[in-house]
């Protein structure tokens, strides 16, 4: 009798593309296993008219899917890693982190303009407080406007003239096969990515499904992402905090670049550490402590005081 793997996923086009990627990998690795996708609506999907920062903090795209995993209603979940809190639901593991895609943010502007050429006062839509802060740091004269919805919705609002430009994750555009001449990737030197951006997380219980999907793990990506998540855990930030961290693996070495920013982008505390890849977590924790001591704690305290 063949076994079945039920994959829990959000219902957005991007989430389904990512879930189908994992479905294909499972079928190739274990042809005798049946795969079924189970679409689960999360808090983040139900309230698309509200900023993510008002929806209760961490895990707004993950909690309901984790609940289904704990209840044995699904056997694994496919998440965008940047949506996954550092504290998983009890009894669950990140069994696999496949090879990372493009980590960069991308600007898409009407008339194909880049960030420097947008006119003064131009409206730029984004759902991310990190992107808001970094956009304000780069161009304080722009009007940064909250923008929710799936990729198609955001592109339609841009094309309808509701915004002069929008920002999205380059990886999502690439996975959806969206190729537009007006896509302008933003350099990580100015727009440091979100923790885990461009990476997928395959979450399971510690059972045979976890063992099966572990084959899809990409070790350099795993080392980089767990270092970034160690930084996040140490800082204690959430979707209400403009944070960024990007780790890269070069042979046996890891480089971690991270920042804490104020909402208006006028204060950015940023630093880089490099050391042995096997010590990535320790480096990330030390980097977090340094940024907090150098002004990051004051920024976070201020955000907390103002309900951020």
Cβ-contact 176, 13 below 8 angstroms: yes
Helix axes 151-159, 13-29, angle to 10 degrees: 140
Cβ-contact 106, 168 below 8 angstroms: yes
| DSSP letter, residue 218 | -
Cβ-contact 76, 95 below 8 angstroms: yes
With residue 212 as reference, give the H or E element that holds it. Answer: helix 208-213
E-strand ranges in 73-173 read: 76-80, 93-96, 105-109, 123-126, 143-146, 165-169
E-strand ranges in the chain read: 4-9, 34-39, 76-80, 93-96, 105-109, 123-126, 143-146, 165-169, 183-185, 200-204, 243-250, 253-261, 268-276
32 contacts: CB under 8 Å, gap ≥ 6 = 2, 3
Task: Say which of 32, 49, 67, 83 is annotated catalytic.
Answer: 83
Instruction: For residue 159, indicate whether it is catalytic.
Output: no
Give the Cα separation of 304 and 104 in Å (integer).
28
For residue 251, the tally of other CB atoms under 10 A from its CB is: 7
β-pairing verdict for 34-39 and 4-9:
parallel
Residues identified as active-site: 83
């Amino acid at each position: 009798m063949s076994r079945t793997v039920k994959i829990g996923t959000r219902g957005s086009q991007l989430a389904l593309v990512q879930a189908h990627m994992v479905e294909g990998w499972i079928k190739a690795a274990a042809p005798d296993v049946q795969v079924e996708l189970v679409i689960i609506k999360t808090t983040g999907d139900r309230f698309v008219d509200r900023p993510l920062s008002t929806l209760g903090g961490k895990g707004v795209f993950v909690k309901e899917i984790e609940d289904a995993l704990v209840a044995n209603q699904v056997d694994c979940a496919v998440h965008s890693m940047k949506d996954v809190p550092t504290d998983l639901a009890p009894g669950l593991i990140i069994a696999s982190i496949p090879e990372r895609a493009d980590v960069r943010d991308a600007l898409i502007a009407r008339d194909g303009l880049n960030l420097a050429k947008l006119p003064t006062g131009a409206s730029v839509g984004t759902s991310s407080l990190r992107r808001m802060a970094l956009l304000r740091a780069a161009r304080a004269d722009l009007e940064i406007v909250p923008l929710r919805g799936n990729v198609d919705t955001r592109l339609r609002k841009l094309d309808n003239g509701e915004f002069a430009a929008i920002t999205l994750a380059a990886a999502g555009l690439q996975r959806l096969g969206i190729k537009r001449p007006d896509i302008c990737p933003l350099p990580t030197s100015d727009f440091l990515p979100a923790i885990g951006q461009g990476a997928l997380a395959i979450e399971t219980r510690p059972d045979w499904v976890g063992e099966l999907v572990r084959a899809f793990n990409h070790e350099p990506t795993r080392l980089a992402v767990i270092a970034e998540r160690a930084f996040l855990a140490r800082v204690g930030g959430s979707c209400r905090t403009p944070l960024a961290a990007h780790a890269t693996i070069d042979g046996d070495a890891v480089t971690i670049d991270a920042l804490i920013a104020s909402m208006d982008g006028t204060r950015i505390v940023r630093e880089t550490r490099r050391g042995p890849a096997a010590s990535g977590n320790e480096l990330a924790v030390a980097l977090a402590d340094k940024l907090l001591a150098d002004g990051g704690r004051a920024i976070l305290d201020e955000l907390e005081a103002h309900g951020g």
